Amino acid sequence: MNTLGNLIWLIFGGIVVAIGYIIGSILLMITIIGIPFGIQTLKLGIFALWPFGSTTVQRPSTTGCLSTIMNIIWILFGGIWIALTHFAFGILFAITIIGIPFARQHFKLAGLALTPFGRDIVPVR
């Protein structure tokens, strides 16, 4: 079922979202300051490519409060808009019964887009 969901996701817009994240990641990685943020957008791009069958978990922090500071910077410089976009698409998809699985994927992406630092993508078991 996850494979079918991922294929439908890719056909109806998931590939466009993933390509957008990957292009944004490359543009962020051009500068030295943008490399940590580029890595997070790459994480979002990979998650947007195959969202069914995977989830995000909080990683045990070994960096102290650095991930919190980076998440605050991320939110201030665009993370909130990315998360709100995924949240709005989630609401639009949740209107129909057929769209509910895709709405759940957008809500997962919104959570990751809001605070990507200190989170890992893992397969659902």
The helix (run of H) or strand (run of E) holding residue 55 is: strand 54-58
Distance in angstroms (rounded) separating the CA atoms of residues 120 and 15: 21
Find out whether 106 and 83 touch, Cβ atoms under 8 Å.
no
Q: What is the pLDDT of residue 106?
A: 92
For residue 1, name the pLDDT band (cuts at 50, 70, 90). confident
The first and second tokens of residue 1, run together, are 């079922």
Condensed to tens digits (0 to 9), the pLDDT of residues 14-64 reads: 899 999 999 999 999 998 899 999 999 998 999 999 899 888 888 887 677
The label of the residue with tokens 């580029």 reads 38
Average pLDDT over the chain, rounded to an integer: 89
Q: What are phi and psi of 57, to 5 degrees?
A: -130, 155
The helix (run of H) or strand (run of E) holding residue 120 is: strand 119-123
Condensed to tens digits (0 to 9), the pLDDT of residues 58-109 reads: 888 767 788 889 999 999 998 899 999 999 999 999 999 999 999 999 999 9
Tell me, what amino acid is at 65? Answer: C
Indicate if the pLDDT at residue 120 is higher than 80: yes
Distance in angstroms (rounded) separating the CA atoms of residues 28 and 106: 23
